[in-house]
């Protein structure tokens, strides 16, 4: 009976939101913003309500658009495939209105997805927007135990990028009780917890109960822009509601919690599984063919492991994914089948590699890291929610105590290399030789020279056209990202993707040919090549050429820096890029250019111009620091300006007198 009542309450709440979305706005909606404590803005959120249920989340929002720039606010709502029961309406000052009855009334628009991006992407917004209107929208998103499917956390920040005059977060009784229900998922039992902190200064805030729901009620919330080059780090000045999975012991007894977690992992990893005939034969081959020295032996085995197992995300499009991809509970023959078909869920690969290293007496360790590109649940302590269980790391120690890491779930990263998102924080280190007790070690970022991009370009001045040939060669994180983007594609698809990149970067040039060479295995060191042409005015005696135009910049200036930054400035990784351009010109021509150099604590940008029969221009861009304080913003902006300025560097070519 209680269940039927909860279903009724949920449907009633959803229906109420949908009806509000179709009804006319109040007369105050057209003038209320004029009395706002935050005047002269392009858009205001007049009313926003979010209602949390166990298996759904209902949204309602009313927005007053006052200027054309205000229409961009709607791009931040980030509608996705999870949207259900979408309804809405757009109202105009003359009383006319447009009904939005389904997701089909969402249209694509070019917009920035993040401030550090200078490229716009297609996002969904309601059709019929004008520079003077009121938009009322309601929709539902499905949830599993209060969270999006397969998610372990959800942050609902109270502020948005426009002033909010009224916002309510409505927590249903069933949702509030969710944190008391222990689900036996196989990992000590999981809870879905809800957290909010009302002690945020500068916000008109209250919370109360209407008998069925707990209501968090906010008024006059100033606009808050997410800062470029940061993570969702905890900001105590931004109120939020957090929903996250945790274990029953994590909050009540942290020490016992971590010990229990390691005991659970011990029970999972300690028993030697049956790897089947194929697995046993493969391990025997490794035992007899791998080098003797421990680290070289592990590196060889890991590379063979990457060749053996197929990562499902990088299957060529013509291959069908094997059925044995994922299992919540491992059957007796699961690992034997995985070896037989050379495929499993990627998070299983760490388990398999650990067992291989164990059977080959390499004494492996297990590492769980916290990605720096997603925020922790708490500012002062480790949390289960911040650990990346999808990408476990296998580690070894040599005789001197040096640690070597292997990330089998991400095959683009070779021996000793890790995704940079897993570096820069403290990791949970589990050593069987240490009785499987929890230990903590930092995973330090690697220096810029470990992540490098070399761009070699040759310009040839023909009779009536420029010919350009460019080659990219990369290593470290840059190489891994490029490999992942191109690996599973056919040769034709690779050429097409690369051609599209150059057409977008150099629209005045014609792409003649592209190729990706040497990308046969994850171990390979491929090269990305392109040949382009552009008309040349053969009658002109003076020409301007930009030798680095169109070359990639791994960091760029954001399209806007919001004021009053307090968050740290966090780049994905330090890196070094060297662009070298040669200009082949006829003997009757000469080149004029200049050299310059700028450097600070953040990084260095240098251009060297060497004149001669074949002028050579060399650009060096080095991002030395990756984690900076907000007080260093001016230094960051200087560095990013130098990067942009170097891309516009030009050489003057003229006929000899």
Residue 635 neighbours by CB under 8 Å, 6+ apart: 600, 601, 602, 628
The predicted-structure confidence for 167-191, as pLDDT tens digits, reads as follows 999 988 888 887 776 666 554 567 7
Q: What is the spatial distance between Cα 650 and Cα 544, in angstroms, rounded to a whole number?
A: 6
Q: What is the spatial distance between Cα 49 and Cα 21, in angstroms, rounded to a whole number?
A: 11
Residue that has been written with the tokens 């209501």 in this structure: 215
DSSP class of residue 144 equals: B
Give yes or no for a contact between 339 and 253, defined as CB atoms under 8 angstroms apart: no
DSSP class of residue 56 equals: E
Q: What is the mean pLDDT of residues 81-93?
A: 82
Give yes or no for a contact between 14 and 58, defined as CB atoms under 8 angstroms apart: yes
Residue (of 366, 356, 418, 355) closest to 392 by Cα position: 366
The predicted-structure confidence for 234-258, as pLDDT tens digits, reads as follows 566 778 787 877 766 666 677 887 8
Residue 35: which H helix or E strand, with range? none
Q: What is the spatial distance between Cα 153 and Cα 389, in angstroms, rounded to a whole number?
A: 13
Whole-number percent of the chain with pLDDT over 90? 39
What strands lie across the sheet with 190-196, from one edge to the other?
153-157, 240-247, 190-196
CA distances from 323 to 150, 207, 341, 342, 344 (A): 19, 49, 10, 12, 9
Q: What is the spatial distance between Cα 335 and Cα 329, in angstroms, rounded to a whole number?
A: 12
| Paired sense of beta strands 97-100 and 83-91, if any | antiparallel
CA distances from 146 to 43, 56, 243, 597 (A): 30, 7, 7, 53
CA distances from 588 to 339, 537, 651 (A): 66, 16, 16
pLDDT value at 493 more than 70: yes
Q: What is the spatial distance between Cα 156 and Cα 61, in angstroms, rounded to a whole number?
A: 14
Split at pLDDT 50, 70, 90, the class of 128 is confident
pLDDT of residue 4: 35
Give yes or no for a contact between 547 and 459, defined as CB atoms under 8 angstroms apart: yes
Q: Where in the chain is the domain with CATH 3.10.620.30?
A: 254-442
Q: Where in the chain is the domain with CATH 2.60.120.1130?
A: 450-655
Output the six-digit token pair for 601. 């604590």
Lowest mean pLDDT among 40-54, 233-247, 317-331, 392-406: 317-331
The predicted-structure confidence for 4-27, as pLDDT tens digits, reads as follows 333 434 444 567 777 888 999 998
Residue 478 neighbours by CB under 8 Å, 6+ apart: 451, 452, 453, 554, 575
Q: What is the mean pLDDT of residues 486-515?
A: 93
The predicted-structure confidence for 311-349, as pLDDT tens digits, reads as follows 777 766 555 455 444 444 455 677 888 888 888 777 788
Q: Which residues, in sequence order, are bridge partners of residue 396?
A: 404
User: The domain 450-655: what is its CATH number?
Assistant: 2.60.120.1130
pLDDT value at 112 more than 80: no
pLDDT of residue 199: 57
DSSP class of residue 27 equals: G
Give yes or no for a contact between 581 and 547, defined as CB atoms under 8 angstroms apart: yes
Helices (DSSP H) in 376-454: which residue ranges? none
Give yes or no for a contact between 25 and 90, defined as CB atoms under 8 angstroms apart: no
Lowest mean pLDDT among 263-272, 526-535, 628-637: 263-272
pLDDT of residue 184: 61
pLDDT of residue 6: 39
Give yes or no for a contact between 138 and 60, defined as CB atoms under 8 angstroms apart: yes
- Helix 276-289 to helix 349-359 angle (10° resolution) is 50
Output the six-digit token pair for 364. 């492996």
Instruction: Assign a CATH topology to domain 254-442.
Output: C8orf32 fold (3.10.620)
Q: What is the mean pLDDT of residues 134-153?
A: 84
Give the angle subtended at the CA of 374 by the CAs of 371 and 379, to the nearest 5°.
95
pLDDT of residue 31: 80
Helices (DSSP H) in 97-213: which residue ranges? 173-176
pLDDT value at 622 more than 90: yes
pLDDT value at 380 more than 60: no
Q: What is the spatial distance between Cα 61 and Cα 74, in angstroms, rounded to a whole number?
A: 10
Instruction: Assign a CATH topology to domain 2-247.
Output: Immunoglobulin-like (2.60.40)
Mean pLDDT computed over every residue of the chain = 83
DSSP class of residue 310 equals: B
Split at pLDDT 50, 70, 90, the class of 424 is confident
Q: What is the mean pLDDT of residues 472-501?
A: 91
| Paired sense of beta strands 43-52 and 163-172, if any | parallel
pLDDT of residue 45: 93
SS3 503: helix
Q: What is the spatial distance between Cα 478 and Cα 487, in angstroms, rounded to a whole number?
A: 14
Q: What is the spatial distance between Cα 468 and Cα 536, in angstroms, rounded to a whole number?
A: 12
pLDDT value at 599 more than 70: yes
pLDDT of residue 425: 77
Residue 572 neighbours by CB under 8 Å, 6+ apart: 373, 420, 421, 477, 626
CA torsion angle 476 477 482 488 (round to 10): 90
pLDDT of residue 645: 95
CA distances from 437 to 263, 365, 503, 553, 631 (A): 8, 11, 54, 44, 39
Q: Where in the chain is the domain with CATH 2.60.40?
A: 2-247
CA distances from 443 to 416, 478, 485, 522 (A): 12, 19, 26, 23
The predicted-structure confidence for 462-483, as pLDDT tens digits, reads as follows 888 999 999 999 999 999 999 9
Helices (DSSP H) in 181-333: which residue ranges? 254-270, 276-289, 294-308
pLDDT value at 48 more than 60: yes
pLDDT of residue 9: 42
SS3 549: coil
Q: What is the spatial distance between Cα 413 and Cα 405, in angstroms, rounded to a whole number?
A: 10
Q: What is the spatial distance between Cα 308 and Cα 302, in angstroms, rounded to a whole number?
A: 10
């Amino acid at each position: 009976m209680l269940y039927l009542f909860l279903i009724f309450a949920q449907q009633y709440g959803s229906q109420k939101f949908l009806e509000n979305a179709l009804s006319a706005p109040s007369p105050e909606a057209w003038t209320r913003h004029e009395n706002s404590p935050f005047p002269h803005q392009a858009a205001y959120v007049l009313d926003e309500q979010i209602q949390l249920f166990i298996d759904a989340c209902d949204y309602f929002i009313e927005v007053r658009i006052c200027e054309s720039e205000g229409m961009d606010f709607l791009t931040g709502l980030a509608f996705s495939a999870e949207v259900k029961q979408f309804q809405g309406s757009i109202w105009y000052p003359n009383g006319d209105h447009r009904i939005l009855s389904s997701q089909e009334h969402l249209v694509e628009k070019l917009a920035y997805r993040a401030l550090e991006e200078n490229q716009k992407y297609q996002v969904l917004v309601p059709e019929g927007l004008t520079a003077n209107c009121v938009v009322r929208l309601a929709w539902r998103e499905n949830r599993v135990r209060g969270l999006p499917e397969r998610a372990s956390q959800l942050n609902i920040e109270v502020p948005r990028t426009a002033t909010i005059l009224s916002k309510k977060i409505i927590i249903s009784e069933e949702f509030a009780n969710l944190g008391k229900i222990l689900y036996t998922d196989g990992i000590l039992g999981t809870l879905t917890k809800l957290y909010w902190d009302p002690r945020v200064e500068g916000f008109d805030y209250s919370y109360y109960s209407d008998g069925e729901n707990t209501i968090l009620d906010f008024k006059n919330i100033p606009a808050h822009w997410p800062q470029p080059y940061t993570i969702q780090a905890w900001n105590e000045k931004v109120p939020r509601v957090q929903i996250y999975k945790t274990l029953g012991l994590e909050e009540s007894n942290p020490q016992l919690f971590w010990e229990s977690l390691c005991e659970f992992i011990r029970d999972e990893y300690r028993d030697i599984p049956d790897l089947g005939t194929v697995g046993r034969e493969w391990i025997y081959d490794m035992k007899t063919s791998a080098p003797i020295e421990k680290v070289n032996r592990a590196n060889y085995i890991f590379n063979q492991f990457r060749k053996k197992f197929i990562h499902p995300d990088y299957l060529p499009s013509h291959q069908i994914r094997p059925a044995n991809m994922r299992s919540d509970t491992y059957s007796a023959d699961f690992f034997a089948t995985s070896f037989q078909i050379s495929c499993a869920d990627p998070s299983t690969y760490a388990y398999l590699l650990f067992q291989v290293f164990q059977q080959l007496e390499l004494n492996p360790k297990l590492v769980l890291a916290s990605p720096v590109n997603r925020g922790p649940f708490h500012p002062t302590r480790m949390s289960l929610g911040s650990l990346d269980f999808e990408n476990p790391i296998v580690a070894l120690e040599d005789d001197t105590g040096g640690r070597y890491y292997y990330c089998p779930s991400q095959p683009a990263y070779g021996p000793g290399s890790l995704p940079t998102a897993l570096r820069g924080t403290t990791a949970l280190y589990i050593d069987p030789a240490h009785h499987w007790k929890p230990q903590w070690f930092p995973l330090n970022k690697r220096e810029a020279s470990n992540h490098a991009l070399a761009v070699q370009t040759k310009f040839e001045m023909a009779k009536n056209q420029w010919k350009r040939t460019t080659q990219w060669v990369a290593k470290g994180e840059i190489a891994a990202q490029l490999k992942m983007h191109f690996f599973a594609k056919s040769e034709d698809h690779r050429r097409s993707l690369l051609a599209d990149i150059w057409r977008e970067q150099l629209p005045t040039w014609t792409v003649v040919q592209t190729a990706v060479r040497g990308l046969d295995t994850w171990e390979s060191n491929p090269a990305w090549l392109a040949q382009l042409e552009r008309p040349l005015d053969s009658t002109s005696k003076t020409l301007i050429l930009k030798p680095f135009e169109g070359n990639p910049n791994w960091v760029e200036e954001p399209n806007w820096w919001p004021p009053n930054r307090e968050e740290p400035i966090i780049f994905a990784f330090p890196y070094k890029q060297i662009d070298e351009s040669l200009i082949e010109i006829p003997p009757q021509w000469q080149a004029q250019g200049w050299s310059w150099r700028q450097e600070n604590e953040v990084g260095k940008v240098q251009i060297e111009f060497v004149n001669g029969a074949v002028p050579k221009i060399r650009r060096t861009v080095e991002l030395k620091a990756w984690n900076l304080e907000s007080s260093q913003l001016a230094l960051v902006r200087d560095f990013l300006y130098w990067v942009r300025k170097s891309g516009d560097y030009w050489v003057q070519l003229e006929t000899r007198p």
